[in-house]
Amino acid sequence: MRPSRVRRRPLLRFEGWIAGMGTSSGTRIVLGHWPRSPFGPFSDVMLERADGERLLLAPTQETADFVGGTYTFDTVRVVPVEVGRAAGSWTVAAGPLDLRFTTGRRGLLGLLLRAVPGALARRPAWSALTDRFAGLLLPGVRTRGSTIGGRREWYGARDLRPIRAVTAAFEGTDLGALAPVEPPVRFGFSSVPRNPAVTRVTTTIALGPE
């Protein structure tokens, strides 16, 4: 008999930005902005409220099903999600959430990440290597791990800028001033950095069984 072939997991790649920030009300917000993805350009928002509720805001049922099948949420809503960017200022309109934030100058880590070639950032082996150091530099952050549904995920960071100010309201209620992401968010195996930041990233997700 011929030896059976090992099936390779299909790989899906998402190119874009992840912004993570806390607010003084206790709500933590994670924006994923993906100009390039298997679903075309889209953005989604994950929120964890002070009471622990985890909420996903996604623009289509398809993206809601995929993101909701990768991370853990208590509530999923399909709502229009619009993102604007101009000169370090971001605006986000996502159903019940209105969000504005501004970024500052990149620090040393951002400068180092800017030097990472895109082709290297897309390689799972690179994310596996950087995983050893990510948690030391940014506690709570992982660059590889397992998601729900038996999926595997790798993050290849290529830039990092601090978030300096935020204005946010949920269902018309002000969420307060910018604050650290504390406690860490609990959507998946990794949190975003404790200090609010925008990370340019290539996310690779492997589907299906080994």
- Structural domain boundaries in the chain: 11-206
Q: Which residue has the tokens 């604050």?
A: 179
Judged by DSSP in three states, 198 sits in: strand
Question: Mind listing the pLDDT tens digit of every residue in the chain (210 residues)?
Answer: 444 444 566 789 999 999 999 999 999 999 999 999 999 999 999 999 999 999 999 999 999 999 999 999 999 999 999 999 998 999 999 999 999 999 999 999 888 888 888 888 888 888 888 887 787 778 788 889 988 878 999 999 999 999 999 999 999 999 999 999 999 999 999 999 999 999 999 999 998 654
Helices (H) and strands (E) in the chain, counts: 4, 13
In this prediction the pTM is 0.90
CB-based contacts of 91-95 (< 8 A; 24+ apart in sequence): 92/31, 92/43, 92/45, 94/43, 94/45, 94/57, 95/57
**Residue 183, preceding bond cis, omega within 30 degrees?**
yes
pLDDT tens digits for range 129-149: 888 778 777 878 888 998 887
pLDDT tens digits for range 159-196: 999 999 999 999 999 999 999 999 999 999 999 999 99
